[in-house]
Amino acid sequence: MKERILNEVLKNFMIEGALCSVSRYGHGHINDTFLVITKTDDSQNKYILQRINHSIFKEPLKLMRNISLVTSFLKQEIGKAGGDERREVVTIIDTMDQDVVHRDTEGAYWRMYLFIDDADCFEQVQDSNAFYQSAVAFGRFQKLLQNFDASQLYEVIPDFHHTPLRFERFQKVVEENRRNRVDLVIPEIEFFLSREHDMKLCRRYLEENKLPLRVTHNDTKLNNVMIDKKTGNGLCVIDLDTVMPGLSIFDFGDSIRFGANTAVEDEKDLSRVSLDLNLFEQYSKGFLEGCDGSLTEEEIRMLPYGAKTMTLECGMRFLTDYLEGDIYFKTARDGHNLDRCRTQIELVRDMERKWDQMEQIICQLPGK
């Protein structure tokens, strides 16, 4: 990053104190992220500066409007509950023009947040408590936003979790077979085709008003929750780029897909892949605790379907990309997307084997 550009950008944000340092920060693969440190007479101030990836997020102004609307609402609700608005929700730093985004001389879009001190985020599930605390945080995110009108939000990625549309596209890609790979993956294709009903169930429930449209995060991985270093509690949900209207059970389900899998997402040895029922129970308990009665009975009943649907959808997307020549997901080796797909398939199979136990766990949890 050019020093000239960074200096110009920083001058356009309302930060306190004299600049001490700017350094690359975090492990994100989409936006360019920097830690900015300034100093006043008696204190040090920290900020997160990000250059929004304009090639992925085509409408950065609308994206930032989403984040501004949601964080403003969250601050109000947290304030009413007597919480700490500067630590429990992302704080946007305004530009000198009283805006939430700055466009530099090269056309790039920038934003700045207040840095949250004394908190960590974790890339992988290392213990059940951190996973549980992330569930509480994402559940509380649902609770706090239960009265927010989700229709106000711009759909950052149109039809992101419209599983039936992704299924139709998958069928088309199989039919076209442009890379001549279909014959290599007949069992995988048949697996998804045989689960068409499962692919369409949640969307049908939404259209029949059996499941409500809510504000959803859409990237509910463990590393998107800040964990307080002192208390070990989930503190703040971050990375709000994909906040959109959606289904609460999909936010729940994607966490299970990622965090309750006993193997990594691209594991080649499928004997390592299974659903950890203890982690499933811990996350379900934390999520319902955080939601604190804000979910409907049908949403709670459908939580296992959220996990299964998100795993099916993700696996199908990996297979679709493989059939198209690996053009969407980054790959590190030949057949990488196919390995990812097979891991998701095995996880779905294990969910199906453990389905009665999953439903029983949800049924017996407090707060259901």
Q: Which DSSP string corresponds to 42-59?
A: S-EEEEEEEEE-TTT-S-
3-state SS of 234-273? Answer: EEEECCCCCCEEECHHHHHHHHHHHHCECCCCCCCCHHHC
Going by the DSSP 8-state scheme, the letter that residue 216 receives in this structure is E
H or E stretch covering 328: none
Residue that is written with structure tokens 């009283």 in the block: 98
Strands (E), the chain: 18-24, 32-39, 44-52, 102-103, 109-114, 119-120, 214-216, 225-228, 234-237, 244-246
Distance CA 38, CA 86 (A): 18
251 CB neighbour count, 10 Å cutoff:
24
Q: What is the pLDDT along the chain (368 residues), one digit of tens a residue?
A: 677 888 899 999 999 999 999 999 887 768 999 999 999 988 899 999 999 998 889 999 999 999 999 999 999 999 999 999 999 999 999 999 999 999 999 999 999 999 999 998 887 777 788 899 999 999 999 999 999 999 999 999 999 999 999 999 999 999 999 999 999 999 999 999 999 999 999 999 999 999 999 999 999 999 999 999 999 999 999 999 999 999 999 999 999 999 999 999 999 999 999 999 999 999 999 999 999 999 999 999 999 999 999 999 999 999 999 999 999 998 999 999 999 999 999 999 999 999 999 999 999 997 66
* pLDDT at residue 309 in the model: 98
Average pLDDT across the chain, whole number: 95
Question: Strand 214-216 relative to strand 109-114: parallel, antiparallel, unpaired?
Answer: unpaired
Residue that is written with structure tokens 């990309």 in the block: 321
Helix (H, G, I), strand (E, B) or coil at 34: strand
* pLDDT at residue 122 in the model: 83
* pLDDT at residue 2 in the model: 73
* pLDDT at residue 128 in the model: 80
CB 10 within 8 A of CB 22: yes
Distance CA 285, CA 255 (A): 13
CB 130 within 8 A of CB 283: no
**CA angle at residue 149 from 161 to 289, to 5 degrees?**
75
pLDDT in tens, 97-134: 999 999 999 999 999 999 999 998 887 777 788 899 99
Q: What is the CA radius of gyration of the chain?
A: 21
What domains are defined for the chain?
A: 3-116 (3.30.200.20), 128-364 (3.90.1200.10)
* pLDDT at residue 3 in the model: 78
pLDDT in tens, 49-82: 999 998 889 999 999 999 999 999 999 999 999 9
3-state SS of 311-332? Answer: HHHHHHHHHHHHHHCCCCCCCC
CB 359 within 8 A of CB 286: no
What angle separates helix 186-193 from helix 336-353, to the nearest 10 degrees? 40
CA atoms within 13 A on the CB side of 261: 29
Residue type, 153: L
Distance CA 169, CA 154 (A): 23
* pLDDT at residue 124 in the model: 76
Whether the full predicted model's pTM is greater than 0.85, yes or no, is yes
